[in-house]
Amino acid sequence: MNRQEPVIDANAKPYKTLTERVTLSWKELLGLKPAAGPQEPTLGLEPESAAAPAAAPKVQASAPKGPEVTVPPADALAPKPFEPQPLVLSEEEKKAIIERLTPGIEASVREGLRDVLDLSVSNAVARMKGDLERTLSSLVTQAIEREIKSLKVDDIVKR
């Protein structure tokens, strides 16, 4: 048995639009009846479920009619938004909460302030050091110029 691979022929029919590929009109498409649903392959065998009802006699029993069930509208079934109830605390409970939370909050605030102060002081010291280093050379130069002007150059040259 020779097996042949499928070949895509690009020259067969070069379709450019959908209407060139689909030859049915809308009226023909609407006239087609849809399939009953997806069916499994049967390999040429008759499915058992289809053969059994045909052989069995059909018995139709009418269901007894009971009270009609009414379904509430969808709005009634939707969950209602959560509305928290206001919490009412006694004075003793409020004092107990304050006494319990105060030390921790105070320690956190102190630590934060200490960090900010340390950072601010270190930045200020760094700026001061930078300013001193920049101005030190000019201060020394100015002091030397004043001293040279105040000294008599003739006395220094003679020595």
In this predicted model, what pLDDT tens digit does every residue of 80-110 receive, in sequence order? Answer: 777 778 888 899 999 999 999 999 999 999 9
Compute the half-sphere exposure of residue 80: CA atoms within 13 Å on the CB side of its CA.
Answer: 4
Q: Between 82 and 58, whose confidence is greater?
A: 82
What is the per-residue pLDDT for 66? 59
For residue 12, is it within any domain? Answer: no
CA distance 82 to 86: 13
Does any domain span residue 143? yes
156, part of any domain: yes
Structural domain harbouring 104: 95-159
Domain annotation covers residue 129: yes
The predicted structure's pLDDT at residue 111: 96
44 or 88, which is more confident: 88
- pLDDT averaged over the chain? 76
Q: Please state the pTM of the whole predicted model.
A: 0.34
| Domain-located, residue 110 | yes
| Amino acid (1-letter code) at residue 101 | L
Distance CA 9, CA 17 (A): 18
The average pLDDT across 4-32 equals 71
Q: Is 138 a member of any domain? A: yes
Residue 119 lies in a domain: yes
Q: How buried is 4 (Cβ within 10 angstroms: 0-12 exposed, 13-18 middle, 19+ buried)?
A: exposed
- Residues 109 and 106: their CA atoms lie apart, in Å, by 5
Distance of alpha carbon 127 from the chain centroid: 43
Do the domain assignments include residue 19?
Answer: no
Task: Retrieve residue 90's tokens.
Answer: 């006694």
Domain count within the chain:
1
